[in-house]
């Protein structure tokens, strides 16, 4: 009897915690089209298509979850090469808020994105574009 009761309680707790996890996602749902708009700010310096040429900055195809400074054939700053950062979503978000604060000495001359929602959407855009080939 006790066992059944405790299992039920556990199920309720699990369901509740998942619903809390889902909530912020619903409020800030990722949006490809808005991500594309934000990406216009990156376009001056970055390409995103598979195999596209590096510009001022490296090609960003499949950059998410890759180690920093690893795009083939691009000359990174020493700071970026030595950073030992992996571009997971958490690190990339912090970088995009203020690149030169997150990686001191980076040569990415970009002031940063002010709005959380812009960062969420541009990361979503990069992820989606990296699925294409
Ligand atoms: C003025 C040019 C410029 C703009 C605008 C710019 N970047 Fe960059 N970006 C660079 C340069 C240059 C580097 C290489 C930095 C280094 O080596 O220190 C870089 C590096 C990066 C990296 C690391 C890549 C790697 O392979 O480790 C990411 C991710 C990135 N930029 C994303 C973005 C995003 C997203 C935007 C738009 C919101 C953006 N950048 C806007 C120039 C720019």
pLDDT tens profile 77-116: 999 999 999 999 999 999 999 999 999 999 999 999 999 9
Q: Residue 19's pLDDT is what?
A: 61
Closest-lying ligand 1 atom to the alpha carbon of residue 113 = 38
Closest-lying ligand 1 atom to the alpha carbon of residue 126 = 35
Give the whole-angstrom CA distance, residue 58 versus residue 66: 13
**8 A C-beta contact, residue 112 and residue 99:** yes
With cut-offs at 50, 70 and 90, classify the pLDDT of residue 16: low
Structure-token pair, residue 11: 């199920």
**8 A C-beta contact, residue 30 and residue 120:** yes
The average confidence (pLDDT) of the chain is 90
pTM of the model: 0.84
Closest-lying ligand 1 atom to the alpha carbon of residue 56 = 12
Q: What three-state secondary structure class fits 86?
A: strand
Q: What angle do CA 113, 111, 109 make, to 5 degrees?
A: 130
Is the model's pLDDT at 9 over the cut of 80?
no
The percentage of residues in the chain with a pLDDT greater than 70, rounded to a whole number, is 87
Residue 17 C-alpha to ligand 1 middle, in angstroms? Answer: 36
Residue whose Cα lies nearest atom 41 of ligand 1: it is: 42
Q: What angle do CA 121, 23, 102 make, to 5 degrees?
A: 45
For ligand 1, is residue 109 a contact (CB within 6 Å)?
A: yes
100 compared with 28, residue with greater pLDDT: 100
Residue 56 C-alpha to ligand 1 middle, in angstroms? Answer: 8
């Amino acid at each position: 009897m006790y066992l059944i009761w405790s299992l039920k309680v556990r199920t309720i707790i699990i369901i509740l915690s998942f619903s809390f996890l889902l909530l912020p996602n619903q409020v800030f749902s990722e949006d490809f089209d808005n991500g594309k708009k934000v990406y216009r700010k990156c376009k001056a310096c970055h390409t995103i298509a598979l195999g596209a040429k590096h510009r001022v900055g490296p090609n960003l195809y499949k950059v998410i979850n890759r180690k920093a400074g690893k795009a083939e054939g691009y000359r990174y700053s020493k700071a970026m090469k030595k950073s030992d950062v992996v571009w997971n979503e958490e690190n990339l978000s912090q970088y995009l808020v203020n690149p030169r604060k997150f990686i001191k000495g980076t040569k990415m001359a970009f002031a940063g994105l002010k709005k959380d929602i812009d960062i969420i959407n541009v990361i979503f855009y990069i992820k989606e574009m990296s699925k294409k080939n």
